[in-house]
Amino acid sequence: MMNDENPVNAIELRVEEISQLFDSFDPFPFREKDLDKNAEEYIVSWARELPRGQPIRVVIHFPDSEVQRQRAKELPDALHRFFAYRTGVIGRNLNELFRIGRQSLAVGITILAICLASSQIASGYLSGSAFASPVEESFLILGWVANWRPLEIFLYDWWPLVRQRHLYRLLSVASVDSIPYRLEETKVD
C-alpha cells in the first residue's frame, strides 16, 4: 500500500517465469546474471517516465510455484546488483568521455594556436592583397573548428550520461516486490 505523504513510483512487470527477466546466455548463477536487454529497456524506459525525486518500486508478478518462489527471494538482490553494476559502467563511460574531451581539447588548442600564428604570418606576407582577408579568416575558422568536438563534449555530451547514471543508481536501490499469482486466475472463460 502506498503512503500519500511519500508516494512511490511503481514499475510493474508480469512474467511467465522469473528467469525471463535475465539473459539466458549469461553463464553466471541466477543472482549474478545480467538482465535480459528487453527487460532492462522496459524497466529503464518506465523509470524515465516516472516523476523525479521519489523512490522507485519494481513489482514483478509471476506464477505461483515452488521454483518461482525460490527465485523470487533472490530477485531483489539480483536486480540491485545488475543496476549497481550498470551504474559503474556508465560512470566509467563518463570518465572515458572526459578523458577524450581533455585530449581533444589539447589538440584543438594546439591547432588553434598554430592557426592564429599562421593567420598573422599570412596577413604579413599578403598585406594589401585581395587574398589576405580570406586566408586569415580561413585559418581562424580552421582553428575554431578544431575545437568543435571538445566544446561539444564539455558543454553537451556528458549531461545524458549523468542523467542515465542517476537513473540506474535509483534503480539499484529500488524496492523490489515479487507477487505470485495462480495460473487459474489468468485464464479467461
SS (H, E, C) 54-76: CCEEEEEEEECCHHHHHHHHHHH
The span from the CA of 122 to the CA of 69, in Å, is 78
Tell me how crowded residue 128 is: count the other CB atoms within 10 A of its CB: 5
Domain that holds residue 65: 9-17+33-183
Residue 132: what pLDDT?
A: 81
Residue 63: what pLDDT?
A: 87
Residue 62 lies in a domain: yes
Residue 74 lies in a domain: yes
Residue 1: what pLDDT?
A: 42
Is residue 177 classed as helix, strand or coil in its secondary structure?
A: strand
Task: Give me the residues of the chain with pLDDT under 70, please.
Answer: 1-8, 26-32, 183-189
Residue 17: what pLDDT?
A: 86
Residue 108 lies in a domain: yes
Residue 147 lies in a domain: yes
Residue 25 lies in a domain: no
Residue 3: what pLDDT?
A: 47
Number of domains in the chain: 1
Residue 69 lies in a domain: yes
Q: Give the DSSP H/E element, type plus range, for residue 83.
A: helix 66-125
